[in-house]
Structure 1
Amino acid sequence: MDTSDSNVVPQPLQLLLEQASAKSPQKIAIRVEGVELSYFKLHHWVRNVAAALVSSGIEKTDRVAWLLPNCLEALALTCACYCVGAVSVPINVRYSPKEVSYMVEKVKAKMLFLQPDALHVIPDLSLMLEVVTVGSEMVHPHTSWSDFEQRQGPITVRPVQSSHPALILFTSGSTGHPKGVLHSLGGCWAAINTSAKALGLGNEDVVLVGKPITHAGGLQTQLLPALMVGGEVVLAMTPPPAQAVELIQRFCVTSYAMLVSSLLDFVEHLERSQETLTSLRRVVGSGDCVPLELQSRFLQLFGRPVLEGCGITEIGGYFAMQPIGKEKPGSIGLPTAGTEVRLVDDEGNDVPSGFPGEVLLRTPSAALGYWDDPHASAELFQDGWLRTGDVAQRDEDGYIWFIGRRKLIIIRRGSNIAPAAVERVLVMHPQVRSSVVVGVPDKDDGQVPVAWIVAQDSQHPPTQAMLEEHVSKHLAVYERPVHYWFRAELPLNSVGKFDRAFLQNEAKHKQQWTCSQLAGA
């Protein structure tokens, strides 16, 4: 152990695997693609990777980037970075080469780990950094993972303060470049601990991780919380429903979290296949609101509600979660342990129950700010409270009801329209499978809502008249979409959520074309 500063002791996150290994060394920690590692073997491997990082010249606060799918090497690199005081920079494999280059150069990474089929991003990099290829032998002139692992050095934990930088998670904003959200070791630990408590995880749990661990949803609400409590992890990469079911049945999975788009596919598969999942005790839907119709179908299958969780990259996990056994379908639940929530109006005044307001948070897992972006970092906080950009309202029991993203709110002649509220109504129609509502400019109304629809049966989609009759029963006139456009599927962004920015841009072009055609007529 590095004892250069005798006043600093290792942080809990630096010792996560050491403690689990000491308690249950032979217990299976993780399974992935036919490989399984005990807590002892995983801990030993992470220490060797940490030693290799040190031997590669990685110092405290150096950034180590990795462009990898969910795999053992990605986990080992992240934990090893924590141990030696380096900053882990996960990058989703779905990002474009230009986006990857921007991120790697933005953080001035000292090393980059990637698979050989991703080497095409290298020509765009202007930085001089060591590239390590994972999953094959050396690709000249780069270093192979096996050669990297052979680098000898002291197996060390470098003690640091809890405020020490540990993790940069990139957000995919609707405009401009992604921002790097910087988290501390203490903040990461708080997010992981919060997730474990909210989900009621224990050492008997088997957690299927099917979200990318390049994002908080996979890394800090699923993977690391399971390891923290000494549970077992089954690591996959957004498995299709049939594969997820097979993994759940084979390994007796007890907990599984999905984005809403995946949850819909999962439920539809189970409805068709009639398969039973007796071990599965909790399922979490997140990323977008879980439609009430989908919640009802889930309840019929499992006999209990799907849990909804709401979180943002800037706090590295959940700020609200349905309390197990006390769920209120349609809400996102209560604030998570240790999280303070305020709802405020445009002047920063607290709003009463039943009224919408922007969500402000105060939590130990709050980010330090945005990497190398002091202006955006300053705007993130308001008098010590983190601004989420989410709009919600609270009921008399303290449950939070998500309305939408502030920047996505559609303002039509001065009236606010929450896309999520319109989407909830649309998916109640029996012929609608899923929908995304976006706003487009309008010369008379300022903005108007339009709806992208995926039909249950593409050969027999609902007509515009049928949809208009349906929404008229549930929505005010100003809330109703002016157009209903159909797609075979809704595109997903790099995180796996519905790509609203893409759909909004496409809607603008389609609206302009429609208006020009009408003008020409």
Structure 2
Amino acid sequence: MLNLSIVLEDSARNAPDRTALVLGDLRLSYAVVDSVANQVANLLVARGLGRGDKVALLCPNLPYFPFVYFGILKAGATVVPLSVLLQPREIIYHLTDSDAKALFCFEGTDELPMGARGREGFDGTQGCEHFFVLPATPLATESEYGESFWAALDGMPGEFETVRTGPEDIAAILYTSGTTGRPKGAELTHANLLINAMVSDQMFPADPEGDVSLAVLPLFHSFGQTSVMNVSLRRRATLVLLPRFEPGQALELMRREKVTMFAGVPTMYWAMLSKIHADEAEVPPTLQVAVSGAAACPVGVLKDFEATFGIAILEGYGLSETSPAACFNQLSRPTKPGTIGFPLWGVEMRLVDSDWNTIQGEGPGEIAIRGHNVMKGYHGRPEETAEVLRDGWFRTGDIATRDQEGYYAIVDRTKDMIIRGGFNVYPREVEEVLMTHPAVSLAAVVGVPHGSYGEEVKAYVVPSTGAMASESELVAWCRENMAAYKYPRTIEFRESLPMTATGKILKRELR
């Protein structure tokens, strides 16, 4: 018996009255969070859902997320967290690909109409039978989009005996993507996610007074899910939820709630430092642990942060396929700015060439990882799983060097992935959508340097013969057809694109 929900249950048993979640003025104890998660589990079982069934969750950083996430796990089902920025076409793809039987969907806001998009996606998916609306108005029992969460939970008991799952049962399917375009679901087991949370937790000493963690990284993403939510709940910390990052608000919450732990992407650190320097905003005095991942943090930001906050940012590395943490600057050894540190406990790393042969010395080479954190495989994709997994080793597609002390530094990506503000954008996926527009004959998408986002998405387009579309028309069309972080902000028209003899587009000449 092993179930990831133990990170919540154990804390609720041992510290029931401690504050688990904070959202604005709302404070919820561990006992309350666990009780609502039990109601969710009872609801799923009552609707005929249980072990092995996939249940999707489309929700920003709100108390609903842990309620539903742990309720799904308790019922023995598999949780499929979805990006809150997905458009209906993309939601249909994810629900269909994961074989989801139910969708819990936040109602959304005028700026982010998730309820409308989720409903359209649900209605367009065969085999997805249940749609639960997480209402924007607290405790509302009605919604224009369908059955309200609170109405569905009415009468459901607050006790539930967690279904006996095994270490190798799949706890979550997290969607990622390679240069092959369409997103793939990484199957992560209860053992993968639980051990990753435990090892990540043990890297940092706990505050004797009780830790307070700020959750602004999206919980639907592996970094926010494991390194923030699961670690925080396991150490009986208070999780302060911030649905959307805004530097002034983040700094204010850190001060007001006496935040001790923060995990973010480099652009968040850059934005907070800019705010402090521009507006002479007060530096939060209680922060003890600062963690960065998802992209390389500029050394200038690392130095500025340490000078301003008095603590170093600990940089790490991981992927959805590795639950996610794999390598980190850890407190047991000196921090090396510009590196991703050394492998976590129980994780092995090596550098390999294109034929999986080990590269000795400093490299460079492609990072391969083996350990408790490596996924079971890609859901329903045996060929693509076989390409990246061999003898328990997972090849990451990331090129790195390794110094004499075993610290790794990322050099480049073998994938053409763009990282925009911490979000992964896969050019092939954007190109495929672009090429469905009648005015587009050929498209190539690349990342171009950007001051605050790190990279911005740019498309080069060869127009269809006789077709006319302006840059602004195409950008507007893209915005309607893909998630907000994906669509190209600039489009350059070309008569032709540079290519190799075999017809492969030479993207390095476009960058």
C-alpha displacement of 1:199: 3.7
User: Are 1:333 and 2:341 matched, yes or no?
Assistant: yes
C-alpha displacement of 1:97: 1.1
For 2:448, the aligned partner's letter is: W
- Counterpart in 1 of 2:74? 83
User: Are 1:228 and 2:234 matched, yes or no?
Assistant: yes
1:184 to 1:128, Cα distance in 2 relative to 1, 3 A? closer
For 1:100, the aligned partner's letter is: I
SS of the aligned residue for 2:321 comes to helix
Aligned partners of 1:237, 1:316: CA distance in 2, in Å?
A: 22
Which structure has the greater CA radius of gyration?
1
1:308 to 1:380, Cα distance in 2 relative to 1, 3 A? same
For 1:241, the aligned partner's letter is: P
- Counterpart in 1 of 2:310? 303
Deviates more, 1:256-265 or 1:121-130: 121-130
Aligned partners of 1:173, 1:137: CA distance in 2, in Å?
A: 41
Question: Which aligned segments of 4 or more residues in structure 1 are displaced greater than 6 angstroms?
Answer: none
1:349 to 1:140, Cα distance in 2 relative to 1, 3 A? same
Contact 1:51 1:151 (C-alpha < 8 Å) held by counterparts: no
- Counterpart in 2 of 1:168? 173
- Counterpart in 1 of 2:163? 158
User: Are 1:133 and 2:133 matched, yes or no?
Assistant: yes
For 2:150, the aligned partner's letter is: S
- 1:98-497, aligned counterparts within 5 Å? 98-116=89-107, 117=113, 118-120=115-117, 121=120, 122-135=122-135, 136-139=140-143, 142-152=146-156, 155-201=160-206, 204-274=210-280, 275-324=282-331, 326-408=334-416, 452-454=448-450
Deviates more, 1:158-167 or 1:11-20: 11-20
C-alpha displacement of 1:387: 1.1
SS of the aligned residue for 2:226 comes to helix
For 2:260, the aligned partner's letter is: T
Contact 1:187 1:365 (C-alpha < 8 Å) held by counterparts: yes
Aligned partners of 2:498, 2:181: CA distance in 1, in Å?
A: 28
SS of the aligned residue for 1:191 comes to helix
C-alpha displacement of 1:288: 1.0
For 1:113, the aligned partner's letter is: F
Contact 1:198 1:321 (C-alpha < 8 Å) held by counterparts: no
For 1:132, the aligned partner's letter is: F
Contact 1:392 1:400 (C-alpha < 8 Å) held by counterparts: yes
For 1:74, the aligned partner's letter is: F
Aligned partners of 2:310, 2:145: CA distance in 1, in Å?
A: 56
C-alpha displacement of 1:393: 1.0
Identity %: 26
Aligned partners of 2:361, 2:202: CA distance in 1, in Å?
A: 26
Aligned partners of 1:259, 1:328: CA distance in 2, in Å?
A: 18
Cα deviations by residue, 1:69-118 (Å, 9 ceiling, x for unpaired):
11111111111111121001111111121111111111221111113342
C-alpha displacement of 1:217: 0.9
Cα deviations by residue, 1:314-337 (Å, 9 ceiling, x for unpaired):
011211111236100111111111
TM-score, with normalisation over the residues of structure 1? 0.77
C-alpha displacement of 1:238: 3.4
Aligned partners of 1:195, 1:246: CA distance in 2, in Å?
A: 26
Contact 1:171 1:180 (C-alpha < 8 Å) held by counterparts: yes
C-alpha displacement of 1:303: 2.8
Contact 1:195 1:317 (C-alpha < 8 Å) held by counterparts: no
- Counterpart in 1 of 2:46? 55
- Counterpart in 2 of 1:46? 37
Aligned partners of 1:376, 1:54: CA distance in 2, in Å?
A: 33
C-alpha displacement of 1:375: 1.1
Counterpart pick for 1:24 among 15, 18, 35 = 15
1:277 to 1:152, Cα distance in 2 relative to 1, 3 A? closer
C-alpha displacement of 1:49: 1.6
TM-score, with normalisation over the residues of structure 2? 0.78
Contact 1:164 1:185 (C-alpha < 8 Å) held by counterparts: yes
Aligned partners of 2:451, 2:181: CA distance in 1, in Å?
A: 32
Cα deviations by residue, 1:469-497 (Å, 9 ceiling, x for unpaired):
xxxxxxxxxxxxxxxxxxxxxx9xx999x
SS of the aligned residue for 1:376 comes to helix
Aligned partners of 2:97, 2:355: CA distance in 1, in Å?
A: 34
- Counterpart in 2 of 1:426? none
Aligned partners of 1:28, 1:273: CA distance in 2, in Å?
A: 32
Aligned partners of 1:77, 1:455: CA distance in 2, in Å?
A: 37
C-alpha displacement of 1:194: 2.2
User: Are 1:64 and 2:55 matched, yes or no?
Assistant: yes
Contact 2:302 2:313 (C-alpha < 8 Å) held by counterparts: yes
Aligned partners of 2:41, 2:302: CA distance in 1, in Å?
A: 44
1:92 to 1:149, Cα distance in 2 relative to 1, 3 A? same
C-alpha displacement of 1:15: 2.4
SS of the aligned residue for 1:110 comes to strand
Contact 1:55 1:152 (C-alpha < 8 Å) held by counterparts: no
SS of the aligned residue for 2:399 comes to strand
Aligned partners of 2:164, 2:185: CA distance in 1, in Å?
A: 24
Cα deviations by residue, 1:191-227 (Å, 9 ceiling, x for unpaired):
2112212344557211101111111111111111111
- Counterpart in 2 of 1:6? none
SS of the aligned residue for 1:407 comes to coil
Q: Give the aligned CA root-mean-square deviation in angstroms.
A: 3.1
Contact 2:213 2:259 (C-alpha < 8 Å) held by counterparts: yes
1:400 to 1:128, Cα distance in 2 relative to 1, 3 A? closer
For 2:414, the aligned partner's letter is: R
For 1:126, the aligned partner's letter is: Q
- Listed as ranges, the gaps of 5+ residues in structure 2 are 108-112, 420-424, 428-444, 453-478, 500-511
1:306 to 1:506, Cα distance in 2 relative to 1, 3 A? farther
- Counterpart in 2 of 1:36? 27
Contact 1:191 1:220 (C-alpha < 8 Å) held by counterparts: yes
1:140 to 1:242, Cα distance in 2 relative to 1, 3 A? closer
Contact 2:4 2:171 (C-alpha < 8 Å) held by counterparts: no
C-alpha displacement of 1:279: 0.3
SS of the aligned residue for 1:207 comes to strand
1:451 to 1:316, Cα distance in 2 relative to 1, 3 A? closer
Aligned length in residues: 435
Contact 2:95 2:128 (C-alpha < 8 Å) held by counterparts: no
